[in-house]
Each structure stands twice: as C-alpha cells, then as structure tokens.
Amino acid sequence: MKRGKLARALVVGAALVTVGAAYAVLAPDNASGADGPQSDQVEQGRRLFAVSCASCHGLNAEGGTNGEGRDTGPSLIGVGAAAVDFQVSTGRMPAAQPGAQIPRKPPVFTVDEINALAAYVASLAPGPAVPAEESYDVSKATQEEVVRGGELFRTNCTACHNFAGRGGALPDGKYAPTLMTSTPRNIYQAMLTGPQQMPVFSDHVLLPEDKRAIIAYVVALQQRDDPGGFGLGRLGPVSEGLWGWLVGIGSLVAVAVWIGAKVPRVHRGTKDD
C-alpha cells in the first residue's frame, strides 16, 4: 500500500521534472526566435530575476515593499550592469535577510547567470556598464602609477576603508569592508556604483586612469607581505591606537633619555666656562 503510493509519487515527480526540463530547453527557442544571442541573454536574465530577485525588487525591478509598506529592495531601474555584476559577484545579492548591511558571501550564481542578470537590468534603462578588462587590468602597472594611486587612495578612500585598506566601522552598525580580498573588477565597480554609504566616484570625478591607479595601489597592498611581526598598524582602529600610543610613549621616553643625557653635559659646559 505505502509502497504503491510512494511509487506513484515518484512517477509523478519524475514526469514533472521531465516536463520542466523540456520546457527549460525548448522555451528560450520559442520565445526569442531570430532575435539573436543578446535578447536570449536578457530573457534568461529576466527569468532568473523573476525567481531570485523579484520578491524584494519587484517583478519589473521597480522596487518592492512588503505587506506593511516597508521597502524590501530599491528600484534597480538605471543602476546599470555594473551594479548587478558587483552585487551578485560579491555574493551580496540575492540578499538572505534584511539587516544593517548585507554582507559579502560566496556568489550563488555562475558567471553566465550573472551576465544574464546584468544584461536584463541594463535592458531596462541605461546605467554604468561593466568596465572593460583593460580598464582594471593592473598587471603591468608602473611604480609611478602605484604611488599616484596611493595618493588618490589616501584622499578618497582611507576615511572609511583605513589607510591600509583593511576596512573600518561606520555609524549604526555599518562598516566599510576590508579591500584585501577584492578583485580589480569589483574595486572598479564599487567606485562606479557606490554601494550603501560609499559615494559614487563617476568617471568624471575619478578619471578611468585614476581608478586604475587606485586599483594598482590596492593590489600592491594585497600583495605586500607583512615583514616579520610588524603587522600591527594594519589591523584596524584599535591596534592603530595602540601603535600610536606605543610610538607616542616611545618618543616621550626617548626625549626624556635625551634630556637626561644632555643636562649633565650642559652643566659640565657651564662649569668649564
């Protein structure tokens, strides 16, 4: 009896899976016909979006609210492919649950799927495109570029991300994350799209070559090994404070020793006169 039921359920399940698979294989062909690979991609993105993103961002990415009228996700009209690529490739999206800040996590979509989602959102309204590889490829960066990037980084980024790119706390339980694991592509996109509290650094504010210099600098920081046990100053505000304190006390001690050593000599000097 029980077994018969189970078998029937299995047959029905298998049939459903087969129909679903057949639909998945056949539907794109029917839907897009001769429109070419581009609209195939947009269509694939639209379908992924409906399943994974629409619950918060609305079925047409117009933004969503829950039953109590609270926002569940902002409108994505005009955020551009770069914002989608950044948010999904860093695993921030799809968000799991609301919170002060949506953390990065391993991405849940493949590169193809991310491209499709980005193409779909970009098809809704113009917005920043995913940057071309040569605009963030810093494998051949010169030393001058790294130095210039360091200056730009200190002017524009250290206030939130700390002078060594290790991140820092912001008000209301938010934080600027460490940049030590960010890819060059994501660094460019973060500047271009300004997630959360981060300002947008458009290509007019920071020219593409400025962005490249900053990326070259961050990559140099990532590659720089801590020499021996002196990583202290790069761990965040607390150890920075400690470091400052040690240096401060250290110099006070040095001055005291110096004065101590100096005074008798001065005395001797006046005696000799």
Q: In the complex, which residues of this chain contact ligand HEC (CB under 6 A)?
A: 52-53, 55-57, 72-74, 76, 79, 83-84, 87-88, 90, 92-95, 101-102, 104, 117, 156-157, 159-161, 170, 174, 176-177, 179, 182, 186-187, 190-191, 193, 195-199, 201, 214
Pick 30 or 97: Cβ nearer ligand HEC: 97
Pick 115 or 193: Cβ nearer ligand HEC: 193
Sort 163 into a burial class: Cβ within 10 Å, 0-12 / 13-18 / 19+. middle
Residue 104 Cβ vs ligand HEC, minimum distance, rounded to whole Å = 5
Helices (H), the chain: 2-32, 37-52, 54-57, 80-89, 111-124, 143-156, 158-161, 184-193, 208-223, 237-272
Residue 142 Cβ vs ligand HEC, minimum distance, rounded to whole Å = 19
Pick 154 or 262: Cβ nearer ligand HEC: 154
Residue 91 Cβ vs ligand HEC, minimum distance, rounded to whole Å = 9
Pick 105 or 267: Cβ nearer ligand HEC: 105
Q: Map 106-137 to HEC letters.
A: CCCCCHHHHHHHHHHHHHHCCCCCCCCHHHCC
Pick 173 or 264: Cβ nearer ligand HEC: 173
Residue 88 Cβ vs ligand HEC, minimum distance, rounded to whole Å = 5
Residue 132 Cβ vs ligand HEC, minimum distance, rounded to whole Å = 18
Q: What are phi and psi of 233, to 5 degrees?
A: -65, -5
Amino acid at 3: R
Residue 243 Cβ vs ligand HEC, minimum distance, rounded to whole Å = 22
Amino acid at 143: Q
Question: Bridge partners of 65?
Answer: 71
Q: Which of 65, 64, 57 minimizes the C-alpha distance to 83?
A: 57
Residue 136 Cβ vs ligand HEC, minimum distance, rounded to whole Å = 11
Q: How many residues does the chain have?
A: 273
Q: Are 151 and 159 in contact (CB under 8 A)?
A: no
Pick 170 or 220: Cβ nearer ligand HEC: 170
Name residue, tokens 């040690």. 246
Pick 50 or 246: Cβ nearer ligand HEC: 50
